[in-house]
Amino acid sequence: MKVCIYGAGAVGGHLAARLAAAGKHELSVIARGPQLEAIKQRGLTVSRGEEIHSGRPQHSTDRPDTLSPQDVVIVTLKAQALPNAAASIESLLAPDGVAVFAINGIPWWWHKGLNVPQTPLFHLDPDGQLWNRLKDRTLGCVIYSPNEVIEPGVIRSALKDRWMLGEPDGSDSERLNRVAEIFQSAGIRGLATTNLRYEIWYKLLINCGLNPVAALTRLPTPLMNKNPDIIALRKAVMLEVMEIALACGTDLRGKIDLDELCTPTKRSGSNRASMLQDVLAGRSLEHEAILGVTVSLAQEHGVSAPRCELMLGLMRGLAESMQQSS
Catalytic residues: 203
Confirm or reject binding of residue 209 to ligand NDP (CB under 6 A). no
* Rounded Cα distance, 52 and 288, in Å: 34
Amino acid at 272: R
Amino acid present at 113 = G
User: Interior CA angle at 255 toward 249 and 261, to 5°?
Assistant: 115
Beta carbon nearer to ligand NDP, 22 or 81:
81
Q: Binder to ligand NDP among 46, 134, 143, 182 (CB under 6 A)?
A: 143
Contact criterion met (CB below 8 Å) for 115 and 91: no
Q: Please report whether residue 11 would count as binding ligand NDP according to CB under 6 A.
A: yes
Question: What's the one-letter identity of residue 220?
Answer: P
Choose which of 15, 31, 121, 276 interacts with ligand NDP (CB under 6 A).
Answer: 31
3-state secondary structure of 95: strand
At residue 100, the 3 state secondary structure works out as strand
Q: Of all helices (H) and strands (E), which one includes residue 74? A: strand 70-75
Assess 76 for contact with ligand NDP (CB under 6 A).
yes
Cross-strand partners of 101? 75, 140
Least Å distance, CB 168 to ligand NDP, is 17
Rounded to the nearest whole angstrom, what is the least distance from the CB of residue 135 to ligand KPL in the complex? 24
48 binds ligand NDP (CB under 6 A): no
With CA atoms as reference, report the closest residue to 12 among 36, 1, 92.
36
- What would the DSSP string read from start to end of 48-73? ETTEEEEE--SEEES-GGGSPPEEEE
CA distance 159 to 89: 30
Binding residues vs ligand KPL (CB under 6 A): 104, 146, 206-207, 210-211, 271, 273-274
Instruction: Report in angstroms how near the CB of residue 35 gets to ligand KPL at its nearest.
Output: 18
**Can residue 61 be called a binding residue for ligand NDP (CB under 6 A)?**
no
Only segment of 28-36, 111-119, 131-139, 177-185 that touches ligand NDP (CB under 6 A): 28-36
Q: If contact means CB under 5 to 8 A according to the sort of partner, which of ligand NDP, ligand KPL, none does residue 33 touch? A: ligand NDP
Residues numbered 287-316 forming contacts with ligand NDP, rule: CB under 6 A? none
Residue number with CB closer to ligand KPL (110 or 202)? 202
Any contact of residue 146 with ligand NDP (CB under 6 A)?
yes
Structure-derived torsion over alpha carbons of residues 295, 113, 117, 99, reported in degrees to the nearest 10: 80
Residue numbers of the site for ligand NDP (CB under 6 A)?
Answer: 7, 9-12, 30-33, 35, 62, 76-79, 81, 85, 103-104, 143, 145-147, 149, 274, 283, 286
